Amino acid sequence: MRRIVLLSVVVLAGIALRGDSTGKNWASDPEWVKARYGGWGGPGVNPAPGPMDAIALKDYAPKPSLVVNETSVPKAKYPAIDVHSHINARTAEQVRDWVKTMDEAGIEMSVVLTGATGDEFDKLADLYLKAYPGRFQLYCGIDTRDIDKPDYPQRAAAELARCYKRGARGTGELTDKGTGFGRSANLPRNARLHPDDPRLDAFWDKCAELNIPANIHIADHPSCWKPLDVYQERTPDYQHFNLYGKDVPSWEELIEMRNRTLAKHPKTRFIACHLGNEGHDLKLLAATLDKYPNLYVDISARDYEVGRAPRTAAKFLARYKNRVLFGTDMGREKSMYQAWWRLLESADEFMPGRIWWRYYGLELPAPVLESLYRGNAKQVLSWAKM
């Protein structure tokens, strides 16, 4: 009896030490060895079991001994226009606090992607635009009620025009991660409203007529379509965004839908947020920008893409400096804005970030920073007076 118990403990400990409930010995899997160690082929020492084998991946937070520069960049080098924020303030007092933080961090204007229509939009317009003219732009959403009724295309375009009169200077964030826009997420797969749907032609054309951009979020980070297993690129903090095995089109199919939309509506300016969800492959994004002159991208929430490939990203941002806009999409804390300035302006190394990999400063030259922070927004956004 005693021997059996002991044996079970040893077996269970063995499973725990390998850190995987399947009990697979990953170290004997060549694919795993390559993913884990690259050309080294192993840890270079003889590993042995120990207390770290019981640490959960979600809890791992190494403190480096590395001593390198930590640059403080309290304010953006140029007054910045943040083209990607959300309803981060709901009361007059909160809006006042936000403006104070913007002043301290060097944000001249925040674009609030409300996603709202109707009364909800009108209330937000009063809250932001009346109190602080010149400090905010508001984007409205898209009406996705009764998309099957024959009047839908005109109704959606008419609501956009109405919001424009109430101060909207763009539309967004229009999100389709595979379940379609807005309410169509509850519909069966073939009934959902995707960007290239002919029912949206009038809406996109209305954007062009009003001369306002559409901020679109189509697909998502490609890791969302990969299993949540030992090869998953992003940490467990992001696992709730995962779409692997869900009833949605593939990442490639969604990008195709977006590209068809860009081609079909050449007079409409589209800002594909989060580096068009192609920030992991800047060659691909470059080709996309070359092909579709009506496409712009914002860098919001892709600190972890530019920060892990600082040299490639700096070259890309210099080459496409007329196509990339600054955005955050990460709330309104002063430290958040300042982390962006440090990433884009300094040459600091091994900065902690939001994902397990560390960031390296891009040290962008002044003309690139100026375009990214404001110059481009001056060209791409709508500056029509109310």
Using CB under 5 A, list all residues that contact Zn ion. Answer: 173, 329
User: Which value, to the nearest 10 degrees, does the dihedral of the CA atoms of residues 113, 362, 375, 336 take?
Assistant: 30
The minimum distance between CB 301 and Zn ion, in angstroms, equals: 7
Nearer to Zn ion, 302 or 323 (CB): 302
Q: What angle, 0 to 180 degrees and rounded to 10, lies between the N-to-C axes of helices 310-319 and 282-291?
A: 10
The minimum distance between CB 116 and Zn ion, in angstroms, equals: 14
The minimum distance between CB 173 and Zn ion, in angstroms, equals: 5
The minimum distance between CB 242 and Zn ion, in angstroms, equals: 18
Distance between CA 91 and CA 131 in Å, rounded? 11
Measured CA angle at 83 (ends 317, 329), to 5 deg? 95
Q: What's the token pair of residue 229?
A: 């297993």
Nearer to Zn ion, 86 or 342 (CB): 86
Amino acid at 341: W
Measured CA distances, 139 to 292, 325, 376 (Å):
23, 16, 18
Distance between CA 37 and CA 44 in Å, rounded? 9
The minimum distance between CB 275 and Zn ion, in angstroms, equals: 13
The minimum distance between CB 71 and Zn ion, in angstroms, equals: 27
The minimum distance between CB 283 and Zn ion, in angstroms, equals: 25
Distance between CA 322 and CA 305 in Å, rounded? 19
Q: What's the token pair of residue 177?
A: 């991660």
Distance between CA 216 and CA 295 in Å, rounded? 10
Q: What's the token pair of residue 89?
A: 């303030």
Nearer to Zn ion, 216 or 314 (CB): 216
Residue nearest to Zn ion (CB): 329
The minimum distance between CB 217 and Zn ion, in angstroms, equals: 6
Letter string b/e over residues 118-145, b meaning 16 or more CB atoms within 10 A of that residue's CB: eeebbebbebbbeebeebbbbbbbbbbe
Nearer to Zn ion, 133 or 331 (CB): 331
The minimum distance between CB 23 and Zn ion, in angstroms, equals: 41
Nearer to Zn ion, 173 or 278 (CB): 173
Amino acid at 129: L
Nearer to Zn ion, 236 or 331 (CB): 331
Nearer to Zn ion, 152 or 270 (CB): 270
Q: Measured in Å, how far apart are the chain's first and last C-alpha atoms?
A: 83
Nearer to Zn ion, 197 or 329 (CB): 329
Beta strand 324-325 pairing with 295-298: parallel
Contact criterion met (CB below 8 Å) for 95 and 128: yes
Nearer to Zn ion, 113 or 355 (CB): 113
